[in-house]
Structure 1
Amino acid sequence: MKKPIQLRTVNVTRYIAPLREGGSLPALAEADDDFKYVLKFKGAGHGVKALIAELIGGEVARALGLPVPELVFANLDEAFGRTEADEEIQDLLQGSQGLNLALHYLSGAINFDPVVTDVGEKLASQIVWLDAFITNVDRTFKNTNMLVWHKELWLIDHGACLYFHHAFTDSDTQAKVPFALIKDHVLLPKATQLEQVDSEFKSILTDDVLQSTINLIPKDWLEWQDADQSPDEIRDIYFQFLKTRRDHSAIFLKQAQDARAAVV
């Protein structure tokens, strides 16, 4: 049996600058391991649900062997941000005390441009399958959420995936949704090997892998004021959603194939 997935925890020591291209005001920050991170705040936007999506989406991608910057839990001390002059940022920092999520900062990386960077058909198929599986609405021509770093493609920003959890009703039905928005995926035209990837990826995403990924979610991220379920029950709903979606991948696979046929 594989060793359970674990994430490092770092303490944020310096807020460097807001990254205002993100709607939830992520920031460039430094931690006590002397590395820089793109910090995502639980006090922003969709709150902990965006962090849960980022965590699950990123770690599912990593389990599948796709290049994702290291994710870490980032602890924000209660005193952090008191000297911040920008009131909006100060409120964000004060509302995000405790455990947040951060991605290793890829210094010097550039945004992926499909006109400039060619992506192989196998990798394109893998990324399209991933995004259809996790219902990621955010990998379009307008917003590719991919970087090129040291001549390699890296996947970032999975906070908009798993959108079923914003309503959190009838998750079994939601798990079997075809995901029509795959038609807008930036790599869809190159995704010629979806059936092969489907077989390979389903064999990787065993129940143990999915459960280990879900178990990473901190308990305090699952104490939702608007939910009747306990943290363990919420975890199980996430697990069942991913398990059902994996087992019914033919539904979203056909949607992606049909969408691709319409654009090539």
Structure 2
Amino acid sequence: MNKIDIRTVNVVQYIKPLREGGSMPAIVKADDGFLYVLKFRGAGQGKKALIAELLGGELARAIGLKMPELVFMNLDDTFSKTEPDEEIQDLLKFSVGLNLGLHFLSSAITYDPLVSKIDALTASKVVVLDSIMSNIDRTAKNTNLLDWNNELWVIDNGASFYFHHNWSTYKNHLTRTFPLIKDHVLLDKATQLNEASKQIQAALTEEKIAEIIALIPEEWLQNDTDDLSPAQMRAAYLEYLKAKLAMIDSLVKEAEDAR
């Protein structure tokens, strides 16, 4: 089994904001010469959105979905000083340090359910995974999927794991299904949910999930407002994902019924 290795790069150029994203990510250039979509730790949902992005992206990759490379991105304080736009200036100022970048897929187009083609198994895997990680943001209004080189690529998993915004009640979420799956953009194409769930269970062993959770930088888990220590949070993410995989049949049935 390949060990996951996430590279760390430095931002060398801020190119432009992507204003269609609620958290205003940006296209930036790194010192490895590549372009990335930078997700800022100083944006609305802060470091928790980066954690959800990291976990969701690597879980998607582990089950065989196409996912752009994720990198940790160091941002220094020079960029905010030369930025004329006050809103962006503040975002850059509050995001100094370690952020998350997604390899920029040049000329990719947003997935369009009426035009883009997708096979049933891939659609089913995305639906089941989004049920597992309670991703509320993969709807027709905002698909968070890209069509690149005639393949479906999963992006933007930052709205997943919303239980982690209130650690005091996270255990309430362990036995819940995910009724919002009824709004999923790929639901009507997801006709192989049972096969997808089998493949997901085979890929997401406890060891694999623990390896993905171990990738979260310690500093992203340190918040004055949280009741749990970083080690307890890692244990809670593992507990949550194991609980969801244990009830995968209920999640599949819920998606089937919604379909």
TM-score (norm 2): 0.97
Paired position in structure 2 for 1:125: 124
| Alpha-carbon distance in 1 for matches of 2:253, 2:2 | 34
The aligned runs of 1:109-124 (5 Å cut-off) are 109-124=108-123
Paired position in structure 1 for 2:77: 78
SS of residue matched to 1:6: coil
Do residues 187 (structure 1) and 175 (structure 2) align? no
Kept after mapping to 2: 8 A contact 1:40/1:51: yes
Paired position in structure 2 for 1:223: 222
Paired position in structure 2 for 1:15: 14
Paired position in structure 1 for 2:42: 43
SS of residue matched to 1:135: coil
Do residues 163 (structure 1) and 162 (structure 2) align? yes
What amino acid is the match of 2:132?
A: F
| Alpha-carbon distance in 2 for matches of 1:195, 1:170 | 30
| Alpha-carbon distance in 2 for matches of 1:225, 1:180 | 32
Q: Identity, % of aligned pairs? A: 53
Paired position in structure 1 for 2:247: 248
SS of residue matched to 1:157: coil
Report the CA distance between 1:192 and its aligned residue: 1.2
Residue ranges of structure 1 left out of the alignment (5+ in a row) = none
Kept after mapping to 2: 8 A contact 1:69/1:103: yes
Kept after mapping to 1: 8 A contact 2:209/2:238: yes
Deviation by residue 1:227-254 (Cα, 9 ceiling, x = unmatched): 1221111111111111111111122111
Kept after mapping to 1: 8 A contact 2:167/2:227: no
| Alpha-carbon distance in 1 for matches of 2:69, 2:121 | 23
Report the CA distance between 1:3 and its aligned residue: 4.6
Kept after mapping to 2: 8 A contact 1:177/1:252: no
| Alpha-carbon distance in 1 for matches of 2:165, 2:249 | 25
Report the CA distance between 1:79 and its aligned residue: 2.4
**Displaced runs of 4 or more, over 4 A:** none
Which piece of structure 1 moves more, 239-248 or 167-176?
Answer: 167-176
Deviation by residue 1:105-153 (Cα, 9 ceiling, x = unmatched): 0000111111111211111111111111111111111111111111111
Report the CA distance between 1:200 and its aligned residue: 1.6
Tell me how large the CA RMSD over aligned residues is. Answer: 1.1
Paired position in structure 1 for 2:134: 135
What amino acid is the match of 1:51?
A: L
| Alpha-carbon distance in 2 for matches of 1:111, 1:3 | 30
Paired position in structure 1 for 2:205: 206
Deviation by residue 1:19-51 (Cα, 9 ceiling, x = unmatched): 000111100100000000000000001100000
SS of residue matched to 1:170: helix
Kept after mapping to 2: 8 A contact 1:177/1:251: no
How many residues align structurally?
A: 259
Which piece of structure 1 moves more, 171-180 or 241-250?
Answer: 171-180
What amino acid is the match of 1:158?
A: N
| Alpha-carbon distance in 1 for matches of 2:47, 2:194 | 34
Do residues 107 (structure 1) and 79 (structure 2) align? no
